[in-house]
Chain A
């Protein structure tokens, strides 16, 4: 039973535009959420996180939004750059325990 879902397996965006990646979770006990970026033949790289006490966290071009009532989070990348092309995984869990990962969204930023 998938506790974290990324329903869009792929996304293409023009360079300079906004990329929006979405993620849904089922467990209301989850209190910490992470986004990872993965290039081929590499392990996932931590990108940005958000605690359940916040609804927004921003780091440069990357912003994560959390809607606890909808059990939904999204990652916004503005402006998108070709180097952002990668697979993005969201993960959710309870602090100090395992995290559950979605199946990933492959982002392609077109120059």
Chain B
């Protein structure tokens, strides 16, 4: 597609539930990044994929968070046992050579 597509755009879930957030990057972009943005903050890095492998997952806050990119294109961010503090906008970005990211519109996750 022309841009980075993220689905769903909004997700409301109950505390303790499992959620999956999907990112469809720009076709041909080998690098894919997940960021999280809380109110009043800049995007905070979560994980970076180069192809299918996670090149850097140092930003994942704990083991409830996991991300995959099995075919080197679409990526899914998975959050287990969601907590209210997980509420944020989750942003995905893709890049061809590691600079000049293109961001998607984000998924607004609300844990109630």
Residues of A that sit less than 8 Å from B by CB = 4, 6, 32, 34, 36, 41-46, 49, 89, 91, 95-104
Q: How many residues of B contact A (CB 8 A)?
A: 25
Q: A43-B104, A89-B43, A103-B41 are in contact. Are A98 and B99 (CB under 8 A)?
A: no
B25 within 8 A of A: no
Main secondary structure of the interface of B (DSSP, over half): loop
Complex alpha-carbon distance, A95 and B35, angstroms:
17
Q: Once A and B bind, how many residue pairs between them come within 8 Å at the CB atom?
A: 58
The answer to whether B101 and A46 have CB atoms under 8 Å apart is yes
**In the bound complex, CA of A24 to CA of B7 (Å):** 34
**Per a CB cutoff under 8 Å, which of B6, B40, B59, B105 touches A98?**
B59
7 pairs of A and B residues whose beta carbons are closest in the complex: A101-B42, A96-B98, A43-B103, A98-B45, A43-B105, A101-B43, A44-B103
Contact present for A4 and B42 (CB under 8 Å): yes
Q: A43-B91, A44-B91 are in contact. Are A101 and B44 (CB under 8 A)?
A: yes
Q: Is the CB of A99 within 8 A of B45?
A: yes
Whether B100 and A102, one on each chain, are in contact in the complex, defined by CB atoms closer than 8 angstroms, is no
22 contacts between A and B (CB under 8 A): A32-B99, A42-B106, A45-B103, A46-B100, A46-B103, A49-B99, A89-B42, A89-B43, A96-B31, A96-B97, A96-B98, A97-B48, A97-B56, A98-B56, A98-B59, A99-B45, A100-B45, A101-B35, A101-B42, A101-B43, A103-B40, A103-B42
